[in-house]
Chains A and B, each alone.
Chain A
Amino acid sequence: MSQSLSSIARFSASDLFKGKGQPGGRVAPFVVILLAVTVLASAANLLLPESSPFYVSTYTITLLGKYLSYAMLALAVDVIWGYCGILSLGHGAFFALGGYAMGVYLMRQIGDRGVYGHPELPDFMVFLDWSELPWYWLGMDQFWFAMLMVLAVPGLLAYIFGWLAFRSRVTGVYLSIMTQALTYALLLAFFRNEMGFGGNNGLTDFKDILGFDLQSDTTRVALFAITALMLALTFITSHWIMQSRLGKVVVAIRDGEARARFLGYRTDNFKVWLFVYSAMIAAIAGALYVPQVGIINPGEFSPINSIEIVIWVAVGGRGTLIGAIVGALLVNYAKTRFTAIMPDGWLFALGALFVLVTLFLPKGLVGVFSQLTERWFLMRNRSQVKNSSAEESDKPLSTGAQASAGVQTKEASV
């Protein structure tokens, strides 16, 4: 056992976990690719004529924007599940809350352009006979305040939930089921018209954001670009956090929470902190998602959605930030393709994918990829190792060794 472990440890190629050897590690290539694609796609949409073969349609741009916000959501789940072993089946709730905060702002921007021409109230309130805005809609016409709420509301919910749950040491399956109950309760609540968020219809028919027309190509491209930037930003931040000592503590909590406690770490504080951080990323993703797809409704709270996010992460490879992003992009792309090609069969394909990934790719696609590259390294290194002394090869190899820490996820005991 230890033999095989060490062999994985020694020859892992990825160095995501620690940038001691090369500052930035794998972050740079990913960010560069992401931003390059963004710039190219945006330019192709804005500058090229529609007839050009390289023209990227606004439809594609919006689709990409949606994928990227999903990727961000997956990143949020990965931070909490892959690194800290907390399987949240309710992250869709934070995503949706962020989305609703943005949605409320966008609704306020409609002003008197609603179908009833009411100067202040959104249409659904007019026909529900409401005479004034509920208090929680006040102030949401200010962009800065709305953005604050995007972070504050999901953050606060995550804080309260996390504080309650982690303090009383609800762990593992129990915690997962509780997060599911949380999002389910919110689903039911937001379905209620009395909540003042448009009930089942949710919020839609947005006009503009910060004065820019939401339907113009430039705004769409800009939103897409902002999403890409935010994804890059959250990716870099998360990477930095996971590299810091806090990241190590988090992984330590995943693998041995009791031990971490005996070392003097107040693990519940760490978990709450990370949970809130993750919820906020999800919320930002939601806030970016809404103006791009043009609607937010309670369906986003559905527990099935949250499970699906977890699946993206599992497919990509949990415990590696890049895996979460790759998983989200791939699964969603496949979904778009499959629903078009075989609408009846795609659930079979999706279901089979989940089963096969858990059975055969416990480390996800990124895990497979790094295993393959490991082999390649192994082949190459053999010849090198022969020539160099063990002392010298120790350091560079060890950076690789740590990488597999994440891949070599010892299942959080539940």
Chain B
Amino acid sequence: MKIKKLVSGMALAMGASMVSYGALAADTIKVGVLHSLSGTMAISETTLKDTVLMMVEEQNKKGGLLGKKLEAVVVDPASNWPLFAEKARELLTKDKVDVIFGGWTSVSRKSVLPVIEELNGLMFYPVQYEGEESSKNVFYTGAAPNQQAIPAVDYLMNELGVERWVLAGTDYVYPRTTNKILEAYLKAKGVADSDIMINYTPFGHSDWQSIVSDVKKFGSKGKKTAVVSTINGDANVPFYKELGNQGISSEDIPVVAFSVGEEELSGIDTKPLVGHLAAWNYFQSVDSEANEKFITNWKTFIGNPKRVTNDPMEATYIGFNMWTQAVKKAGTTDVDAVEQAMIGQKSPNLTGGVAVMNKNHHLSKPVLIGEIQDDGQFEVVWETEGVVPGDAWSDFLPGSKDLISDWTSPIKCGNYNTVTRTCSGQNF
């Protein structure tokens, strides 16, 4: 392995000595990686950095792209949101990358967005998010609320007969929006106000006693109750522990979470969580050839047979593959050409189907509901019949129900109002 690297390195060096510097610079396609490697978000984002590096390595083994090698440029925005904007600018103007894979939190994406739009960059955002956004320069490969939250609620309502709902979330924009959408959706389905309880907690909340006890009281009113959790990251472990200790089992009050995946479960004692649910577009436990191969590759790449895979990794995988396809189709890495080529791209996803990039820069993906098992994996208990197209603008919010996103001509607009037939926002 080492020798191989050395040889290739030497070959590269020899090649470099023959061509001029300028030509060499053009000889690689630069892939920017904008994930926090330190700070609070490093826990989640480091994995995605490694995924991109793995994909780049694999692509290079296949001979690169357009006859050029791919080169990853990794920077660390350190979980500091203004730094995301600064580093994005650095990637685009100093390193002149052709594409950026990055971001996790909504605020990091919002911070980067003006920079990417100003400098006409291209970014792939691989995490489930609140929707209500569609930028020409960003492709959203994670789930929109209609690809996660709404199917999950449908499952609870139809399969488990849930009638009372606790919407618990961390107080930031993703839970707020998701819960707003769900509230509107539930009301549209005839759920009474008094059967919905909404609760927000700060980041990293660790004392769940009162809230869990409230949930318990709320659930003892004789109707089947479920918790829809948009609780973020670190706050989850104490939350589930408290549930378990207060004797709330998954049969009594199931919790369906949108931010708990394999990676998060690998750090906790899963005993109290068994039977609780999560909704994603991908689970590691899904039985498919592509998935098996991906998992093997990942474990070899990272050198740890115990590492797990998760949904944002699949989103990165799909995004990366689609990007390479689009570059091939466009024959260039020019952002505008690639952006147009991206739309309609199809790429196999890891759950055995095919993901499609829609006109609104969101993917069509299947939605899976899984129950947590004691080994930290998910057992798929339900999935949608076909794929669900991601909806950038929710139909359940009064502000956005008339908005659509369509990046093909003639509309070419991320937030086009179908009633007034105007386009606001980026291309205003």
Residues of chain A at the chain B interface (Cβ within 8 Å): 57-59, 62-63, 66, 112-118, 123-124, 126-129, 188, 191-193, 199-202, 204-206, 215, 293-295, 297, 299, 339-340, 343-344, 346-347
Contacts and interface: CB of A to CB of B under 8 A. Distances in A.
B186 interface: no
B415 A127 contact: no
- Chain B interface, DSSP helix/strand/loop, else mixed: mixed
Contacts of B80: 299
B171 A293 contact: no
A112 to B, nearest CB: 7
B414 A297 contact: no
What 8 A-B pairs have minimum CB-CB distances, sorted nearest first? A117-B424, A343-B76, A200-B172, A115-B425, A293-B82, A126-B399, A343-B37, A215-B118
Interface string B57-82: 00000000000000000111010111
Contacts, number: 126
Contact of B85 (A58, A113, A294): A294
Interface string B327-359: 000000000000000000000000000000000
B89 A201 contact: no
Interface string B161-199: 000000000011100110010000000000000000000
A117 B417 contact: yes
A200 B172 CA distance: 5
Nearest to A205: B114
Interface string B118-143: 10000000000000110000000000
B173 A294 contact: no
B266 interface: no
Contacts of B400: 116, 127
A211 to B, nearest CB: 16
Contact of B425 (A117, A201, A293, A294): A117
A399 to B, nearest CB: 42
Given A127-B177, A129-B398, A192-B171, A116 B78 contact: no
A215 B417 CA distance: 26
A178 to B, nearest CB: 21
Contacts of A204: 110-111, 113-114
Contacts of B37: 343-344
A367 B286 CA distance: 63
Q: Tell which of A206, A293, A340 has the most Cβ of chain B within 10 Å.
A: A293
B76 A115 contact: no
B380 interface: no
A200 B170 CA distance: 10
B428 interface: yes
Contacts of B172: 191, 193, 199-201
Contacts of B269: none
Given A193-B171, A200-B171, A295-B111, A112 B424 contact: yes
A58 B110 contact: no
Contacts of B399: 116, 118, 126-127, 129
Interface of B: 37-38, 74-76, 78, 80-82, 85-86, 89-90, 93-94, 105-107, 110-111, 113-115, 118, 132-133, 171-173, 176-177, 180, 200, 202-203, 397-400, 403, 414-415, 417, 422, 424-426, 428
A186 B203 CA distance: 14
Contacts of B78: 339, 343
B90 to A, nearest CB: 6
A339 B85 contact: no
Contacts of A295: 81-82, 85, 107, 110-111
Given A299-B81, A340-B75, A343-B38, 11 more contacts: A116-B400, A124-B173, A127-B399, A129-B180, A191-B203, A199-B171, A200-B105, A200-B171, A204-B114, A293-B85, A340-B76
Q: Max chain A CB contacts within 10 Å: which of B75, B111, B113, B200? A: B111
A80 B399 CA distance: 47
Contact of A201 (B90, B107, B200, B424): B107
Contacts of B114: 204-206, 215, 294
A22 to B, nearest CB: 40
Contacts of B89: 59, 62
Contacts of A347: 38
A193 B176 contact: yes
A115 B202 contact: no
A117 B81 contact: no
A115 B132 contact: yes
B90 A59 contact: yes
Contacts of B107: 200-202, 295, 297
A402 B111 CA distance: 47
Nearest to A202: B107
A201 B202 contact: no
A59 B113 CA distance: 16
A118 B424 CA distance: 9
A215 B94 CA distance: 17
Nearest to B417: A117
Contact of A113 (B81, B177, B200, B424): B424
A43 to B, nearest CB: 19
Contacts of A191: 171-172, 202-203
A117 B417 CA distance: 9
Contact of B115 (A66, A126, A294): A294
B202 A344 contact: no
A191 to B, nearest CB: 6
Nearest to A299: B81
A113 B115 CA distance: 17
25 contacts: A57-B94, A59-B94, A112-B424, A113-B424, A114-B424, A115-B415, A116-B400, A116-B415, A117-B417, A117-B424, A123-B132, A124-B173, A126-B399, A127-B399, A128-B180, A193-B173, A193-B200, A199-B176, A294-B85, A295-B111, A297-B82, A340-B75, A344-B38, A346-B38, A347-B38
Contact of A62 (B86, B110, B424): B86
A86 B89 CA distance: 38
Contacts of A115: 132-133, 403, 414-415, 424-426
B404 to A, nearest CB: 12
A62 B398 CA distance: 38
Contacts of B180: 127-129
A129 B396 CA distance: 12
B86 A293 contact: yes
Contacts of A206: 114
- Which residue of A63, A66, A117, A192 has the most chain B CB atoms within 10 A of its CB atom? A117
A114 to B, nearest CB: 7
Contacts of A201: 106-107, 110, 172-173
B425 A113 contact: yes
B113 A205 contact: yes
Contacts of A202: 81, 107
Contacts of B428: 113
Contacts of A117: 415, 417, 422, 424-425
Nearest to A113: B428
A116 to B, nearest CB: 5
A206 B110 CA distance: 11
A260 to B, nearest CB: 41
Residue in A114, A339, A344 with the greatest tally of chain B CB atoms within 10 Å: A339
A96 B397 CA distance: 31
